[in-house]
Amino acid sequence: MVEWIAGNRIIGTNAERTTTTGFNPISAVSGGWKEVGRYVQSGTSDTLPITISGSDQSKKYYMIIHNALYSSDANSSFQFGGSSGNQYSMRSEYATGSQGNDAVGTTTDKFNYADSSVHSSLFAVSHVSNISGKEKLIISNQCTGNATGSGGGTSLSNGAAQVGKWTGTGAITGITHNQTSGGGEYLDGSLAIVLEWDPADTHTSNFWTELASVNGDGTSQTLSTSTFTPKKFMMIQVFTEMGTTSHNCMVRVGTNSLSGSGSYNLRNSSNGAIPWSGHDGKTSLTDEQPSAKNHFMTLFGSNISGKEGFYIGNAVANVTTGSGTSASSMKYASKWAVTAGQANIVGIYNGTGNWGAGTTLKVWGSD
């Protein structure tokens, strides 16, 4: 028996489809970063504790966001609930020019955010593998600040890149941040957030919300989003192409319009070079990069109202095509030295030519 559809049709349209059960083998899109817990400091304190319980302990991956404001020069660390004694080891790359003391394999009782000095503020994003029965592996990037402004000296942003591990193989029952050096305490508004990768999330409770997505069309050297509702934290991803033409990719942010020359300073490392190069009064968050056929980068940013914006990230540049040449790597610890408002627009610029149709700029955010 044939059941006819409107207009005496046997084949239906997408609008008439009410279910995919039985004939569409492709599962619905799922999986996302879901918030496990956060601690926002009220007043002053030396610790920011977060408890992880129940099924959240079994998630395979965590992301940790830490934004610290100190009463005076200080630094931060974190410990996993369930750890005791000297069970952490790290390898640290300081932007200011040295490997961390832990690079030789010494162990400590905590994961210390790496830098050779203390600071008035810190922004860090860390990723943790939480595989049952295995030691817990950590990747972390940080940007720190002391004096405000886009100039050099103490105003210049600082940064570090780290890998490490906790030798424990049991469940992580919590993550507590501690103020560990210098005399400062966490000020009001300092916070820590723990996210878990939930493969079953259907984007109903995803921490990251897409704020903007734009593509190049071959008509302009600047590709910019429209203004969006600003969020306290941003994730920016970029892929660029311009046919066969080599080019740079300078990422800019702003309030209602893109900030230009003199609004940024940064430290960056090219192909693992130490110390990282310091640059003040620059035109973007990602200045001083190689000219390449394609660029791919991910940046995380703090976008707190009334505070300078800190951005950390990694980039790869395809300088020369072909299997016989290696791509170039870049690490960034950058500062947008503006405190009047939050960034609500993101753009990329190059001085070579118009962005090709394969160029994509995406921005996610969350409070």
- Tens digit of pLDDT for each residue in 215-243? 999 899 999 999 999 999 999 999 998 88
Flag whether pLDDT at 9 surpasses 70: no
283-308 as b/e: b if 16+ CB within 10 A: bbbbbbbbbbbbbbbebbbbbbeebb
Count of C-beta atoms within a 10 Å radius of residue 229: 10
- Tens digit of pLDDT for each residue in 139-163? 999 988 877 777 776 677 788 888 9
Q: Which residue has the tokens 């600082």?
A: 158
Whole-prediction pTM: 0.87
What does the pLDDT read at residue 270? 82
Model confidence at 2, pLDDT cuts 50, 70, 90, reads very low
Flag whether pLDDT at 212 surpasses 90: yes
Domains of the chain with CATH codes: 32-198 (2.60.120), 209-366 (2.60.120)
- Tens digit of pLDDT for each residue in 31-68? 889 999 999 999 888 899 999 999 999 999 999 999 98
Structural tokens at position 3 = 């059941």
Q: Which residue has the tokens 């619905």?
A: 28
Give the HSE-up count for residue 62: Cα atoms under 13 Å, Cβ half-sphere. 28
What's the chain's length in residues?
367
